[in-house]
Copies of this chain bind each other. A is one copy, B any other.
Amino acid sequence: MDIFDFSDGREGYYGEYGGVFLPEILHATIEELLECFRECKADPKFWQEYVTLLQNYSGRPTPLTHLENLSRELGGAQIYAKRDDLNHTGSHKVNNVMGQGLITQRLGKKRVIAETGAGQHGFATATMAAKFGFDCKIYMGAVDVARQRPNVFWMENLGAEVIAVEDGQKTLKDAVNECMRDWVTNMADTHYILGTACGPHPFPEMVSWFQSIIGLEAREQIIKQAGRLPDRVFACVGGGSNAMGLFQGFIDEPNIELVGCEAGGEGVGSYMHSARLAYDDASVGVAQGYKTYFLQNDEGNMNETHSVAAGLDYIGVNPIFSHLHDTGRVRFEAATDAEVKETLKLTMRTEGLIPALESTHGFVVALKEAAKMRKDEIVLVNMSGRGDKDIFTIADALDDAKWKSFISGKADQYRAEKK
């Protein structure tokens, strides 16, 4: 099954989802991008250049780790984690960003913009821009700027300008809108580095393509290490890029179950979550350039979303997943904030791994299901990022008293210095 073969349907559509819903002024820009991307995709040298860049700069291939302790402790399936947390900048985001960096170069553009929620994508983009020598502006909701200062600090030190977006809910979706506004103004010299497999065609396809390196590697690795393919594959789903990346390695195997793990926030019925497909609260709509399931009200205005993981806290989901949800090829589950905190603690203590809060959503569901599977079954979960970037959030979530008093002490020190 080639989900990107549009010869039977409409270009850029996955079932009834996807498309290009952009202001007319961007028509030429998106056409130019599509053409450039088609060339790159058709050119094996481009992919080779991309892989080499990631190998030499970002540490690919990332390893596959057998979580022997957790597997033993849960007494069920053998659990393997794909370690995209070991990428340069700390998450899978850098794969897509480096790929789009090459695209930007090919387009002859000198400036990049990006939205960011948790800051991971912005961090990766700022890094890529430094490496490629691009001007870089990162749009980030003011709420996220306030809570994710460490990432802002690094982005700025990497030479990017970070703009706090004060509109709307002041979070990720508002940063996306602000990118669109920048792009319709500066498309001549600017490429928009969209951070996940959402947005108008060809972004879902392009981001998925770059992220497919995760699945390619993982497939080879698990055959080598475990002797065969996994039975179930899990990944967290914000926009859906890390999950698309991993799933592409296994989607043609009908016996492998693919499970997308969304942010259940405070749970079913709370309306404080970001589960578009696992819960029943989302409906099909069109926003931010594409058609998919959105968490929106009856009139098509977006609802507030919530997750302990800023990177999953988003209204929409990639259109490919909306389609694969309809066809049943991918199952969607949700992990609640509370489950995420518990699983994070477990994973740290049992395996010495600190998954990002986003990635931990995948672990929650994977561990829950692995426990009920047979010992000779195999489960693969994507560790899309590392959690040490999340220290403020995690320390808050775990309500760590020593951390709080450290921060108070630091604040006192800064106050004293000022005098």
- Where the two chains meet, the residues of A that have a C-beta atom closer than 8 Å to any C-beta of B are 55-59, 62-66, 69, 83, 85-88, 90, 126-131, 133, 146, 149-150, 152-154, 156-159, 225, 345, 348-352, 354, 388-389, 391-392, 394-395, 398, 400, 402-404, 406-412, 414-415
| Chain B contacts for A64, CB-based, 8 A | 56
A391-B150 in contact (CB<8A): yes
| Chain B contacts for A127, CB-based, 8 A | 352
Bound complex: CA A131 to CA B415 (Å): 41
Q: A59-B63, A407-B407 are known contacts; what are 5 more A-B pairs with Cβ within 8 Å?
A: A85-B88, A86-B87, A157-B345, A157-B348, A407-B410
CB of A164, distance to nearest CB on chain B (Å): 10
A contact patch SS: helix
B56-A354 in contact (CB<8A): no
Choose from B66, B83, B149, B159 the contact partner of A402 (Cβ within 8 Å).
B149
Instruction: Work out how many copies of this chain go into the complex.
Output: 2
B56-A59 in contact (CB<8A): no
Bound complex: CA A415 to CA B129 (Å): 39
Assuming the contacts A56-B66, A65-B56, asked whether A152 and B349 have C-beta atoms less than 8 A apart, the reply is: no
B158-A349 in contact (CB<8A): yes
Bound complex: CA A159 to CA B352 (Å): 9
B130-A351 in contact (CB<8A): yes
CB of A252, distance to nearest CB on chain B (Å): 26
CB of A414, distance to nearest CB on chain B (Å): 4
Assuming the contacts A352-B158, A406-B146, A411-B408, asked whether A131 and B69 have C-beta atoms less than 8 A apart, the reply is: yes
Question: Which of chain B's residues has its CB closest to A67's CB?
Answer: B131
Question: Which of chain B's residues has its CB closest to A54's CB?
Answer: B63
Choose from B88, B352, B414 the contact partner of A126 (Cβ within 8 Å).
B352
Assuming the contacts A69-B133, A410-B392, asked whether A354 and B154 have C-beta atoms less than 8 A apart, the reply is: yes
Q: List 14 A-B contacts (CB under 8 A).
A: A55-B63, A56-B66, A57-B63, A59-B62, A59-B63, A86-B87, A146-B409, A150-B391, A153-B403, A154-B391, A157-B345, A407-B414, A408-B411, A408-B415
A348-B159 in contact (CB<8A): yes
Question: Which of chain B's residues has its CB closest to A148's CB?
Answer: B406
| Chain B contacts for A158, CB-based, 8 A | 348-349, 352, 354
CB of A138, distance to nearest CB on chain B (Å): 14
| Chain B contacts for A225, CB-based, 8 A | 56
Question: Which of chain B's residues has its CB closest to A409's CB?
Answer: B146
| Most B CB within 10 A of own CB, among A86, A128, A398 | A86
Question: Which of chain B's residues has its CB closest to A387's CB?
Answer: B154
CB of A32, distance to nearest CB on chain B (Å): 26
A403-B149 in contact (CB<8A): yes
Question: Which of chain B's residues has its CB closest to A399's CB?
Answer: B417
| Chain B contacts for A131, CB-based, 8 A | 69, 351-352
CB of A147, distance to nearest CB on chain B (Å): 9
CB of A151, distance to nearest CB on chain B (Å): 9
B409-A410 in contact (CB<8A): no
